[in-house]
A and B are shown apart, each in its own frame.
Chain A
Amino acid sequence: MSSDAISARGDLRLTRITKSYGDFKAVDDLTLTIPKGSFFALLGPSGCGKTTTLRMVAGLEEPTVGSIHLGDTDITTTRPYQRPINTVFQNYALFPHLTIFENIAFGLRRRGIKDVKEQVDKVLNLVELPHLAERKPTQLSGGQQQRIALARAIVNRPALLLLDEPLGALDLKLRRQMQIELKWIQREVGLTFVHVTHDQEEAMTMADTIAVMNEGKIEQMGSPADLYDNPETAFVANFLGQSNLIKGKIDGNDGDNLVVDLYGQKVSMPKKRSHAVDTSLYAGIRPEKFRISRLGTPVRGNTLTGGHIEDVSYIGVSTQYVVAMPWGQEVMVFEQNDDGVAPFDKGDEVNISWEPTFTFGLRGDEDIEAGTEVNPEELEEQ
């Protein structure tokens, strides 16, 4: 089986994968299909199991339970060098004793390809570094090394390209630039990319589909917009951007909408955006969806009254307000600085309002702090 694994193509299917280290389950009963040709991101904090998942796909770890298929080929126990899968390692793992050219040619030569020059030159051009062919890796900048690591993998035209925190070591500006380039290269070469990251912004910029992982399981999977607009769990709501989660109770129906009681004030939200299982729920509203108004100013949509401005931070494109609500909760509000309205001051009495369709509903028994303590800059250990 392993001999023909190298030519396997198709969707990657992980079926009921569990990886245990003693009592600790790094990956817990994970099932996942990654369609051929997609740019897929595994997003999650340190220790969520995303790197372990990646290493099992690469063949560097073997699942304790479960199977991995590439197309129709079972590759669960196939040795790494027999898989049509290449990896861009977190610290690039370039071979320091070989030139850039030989680094890139390494995989081709191992597969017995004699004439490597044309293909190597092609990928060097793709990553726009043809002039560095004869250098050694240590003579390159971080960004250049990153591109060479990518070139070294894609030159093999693998069925699957795995990227393990590929931009983690780059500075912010370079990271932004590389995000765009990676996306462009993926479209150019048409390979399946599986990208592991803890950086939600990076995942959202590049991936077609994101799977958010937490404690060895997938919390939610979908397009970046789906995940952001309609998170199903507090973890996703908090890990992707910021959320205001207000405790409430379902108080009745109004057509396709639910009537929700938030500390005595009635608001509405679409039924299909609620993931509550009973009448208790958290109403979720992203900070930029809120609008602030002075008392007496007419507003549309849902309104909560009785707030006052607790804190004001002006950050250029927007102003961030912390509004203390009568029940003691502080909510975050981002206002675009686009309407010429004089900013609010600390202590001002205000109402907050939003469009009902922006509301998402979470189960009332959720831990609303889930996904907030995670420091997204923290590098994954494994």
Chain B
Amino acid sequence: MSFPKVRVPYLLLLPGFAFLFTFFILPIINLAQTSTQTPIAGGDTGQYEQTLAFGNYIQAFVDNKEQFARSFVYATLATIFALVIAYPLAYAIAFKSGKFKNILLVLVVAPFFTSFLLRTIAWKQILGEEGFVVPGLRSLHIISQQTTLTSTSVAVVAGMTYNFLPFMTLPLYASLERIDPRTIEAAGDLYANGITAFRMVTVPLSLPGVVAGTLLTFIPAAGDYVNAAILGSPNTKMIGNVIESRYFKIVDYPTAAALSFTLMAAILILVTLYIRKAGTEELV
């Protein structure tokens, strides 16, 4: 038996669609329902009934403005730092690494071989009192004897930068590596010195990688809570920590759901504006 040819592409879509429907669409609908529920009068902890309490959203946002703002500030900082670190790294791998290219790429990906949690906990040790960073900075009088690094926003942003660095490096590498070196030579040939050629040709041509890398870093960073939980303090809590606490500790599912939705919407809006601004739709 054979299918008419035209149907085959749709059949191929089926498994993906079924997967997305079951594990994305249905949970999203469920989340939307949950976000407008209210506690059952006289019910036990965690018992909610379906109402249309859209006020949950306002309450959730107003109560957690600070953590929302902090999430986006931290995510933005981590994205900027990751870009500043990853760009030269990706550039060196793409253009200057020669036969070491594959080894360097493996090293970039290597952190993925251990768990996210474990890497973050290792950072806690690195930045801890008995790690080498704090005593080093103290002996150089860069930080005072009383200053610690863990449980600070510095540690949280550093952890996020580190954890999402591969997400920044790989797309940057891919787009830099794709640049025809002759276009850079051509810029030199057309009276552009090294810096101008980099600014006028290399940077614009790597823009798709910059956009992809910053998105791949910013989106998970904005929703991250592991770094803030492990490396932060009560004063560095992000919106992810609030959602986690609402869900697991307070057992306040509607607020947790409303916060999740608000976070998703905020990220979606920011990302859309960013892509518009970057104007790289045709390049991506």
- Do A and B come together as binding partners? yes
Residues of A bordering B, CB below 8 Å: 58-60, 79-82, 85-87, 89-91, 93-97, 106-107, 110-111, 152-153, 156
In the assembled complex, the Cα of A97 lies from the Cα of B197 at a distance in Å of 13
Given A81-B191, A90-B182, A110-B196, 16 more A-B residue pairs with CB atoms under 8 Å apart are A80-B189, A81-B189, A86-B189, A87-B186, A89-B186, A93-B182, A94-B183, A95-B186, A96-B205, A97-B204, A97-B205, A97-B283, A110-B190, A152-B190, A153-B189, A156-B190
Which parts of B173-196 form the interface with A (CB within 8 Å)? 180, 182-183, 185-193, 196
| B219 proximal to A (CB < 8 A) | no
| B201 proximal to A (CB < 8 A) | yes
Instruction: List A contacts of B283 (CB < 8 A).
Output: 97
Interface secondary structure of B, over-half rule: helix
Q: How far is the CB of A119 from chain B (nearest CB, A)?
A: 14
In the assembled complex, the Cα of A59 lies from the Cα of B187 at a distance in Å of 12
In the assembled complex, the Cα of A369 lies from the Cα of B193 at a distance in Å of 46
In the assembled complex, the Cα of A152 lies from the Cα of B190 at a distance in Å of 9
Which parts of B189-245 form the interface with A (CB within 8 Å)? 189-193, 196-197, 200-201, 204-205, 207
In the assembled complex, the Cα of A274 lies from the Cα of B183 at a distance in Å of 48
Q: Is the CB of B185 within 8 A of A60?
A: yes
Q: Is the CB of B190 within 8 A of A86?
A: yes
Q: How far is the CB of A245 from chain B (nearest CB, A)?
A: 40
Q: Is the CB of B183 within 8 A of A58?
A: no
A/B interface sample: 19 pairs, CB < 8 A: A60-B189, A79-B193, A81-B188, A87-B189, A89-B182, A91-B182, A94-B183, A95-B187, A95-B201, A95-B205, A96-B205, A97-B283, A106-B190, A106-B192, A106-B200, A107-B191, A110-B190, A111-B191, A153-B190
In the assembled complex, the Cα of A79 lies from the Cα of B190 at a distance in Å of 11
- Which residue of the partner chain B has the closest CB to A97? B204
- Which residue of the partner chain A has the closest CB to B204? A97
Q: Is the CB of A60 within 8 A of B188?
A: yes
- Which residue of the partner chain B has the closest CB to A86? B189
In the assembled complex, the Cα of A89 lies from the Cα of B186 at a distance in Å of 8
Instruction: List B contacts of A94 (CB < 8 A).
Output: 183, 186
Q: Is the CB of A110 within 8 A of B192?
A: yes
- Which residue of the partner chain B has the closest CB to A98? B204
Instruction: List B contacts of A153 (CB < 8 A).
Output: 189-190
Q: How far is the CB of A12 from chain B (nearest CB, A)?
A: 16
Instruction: List B contacts of A79 (CB < 8 A).
Output: 188, 193
In the assembled complex, the Cα of A94 lies from the Cα of B186 at a distance in Å of 8
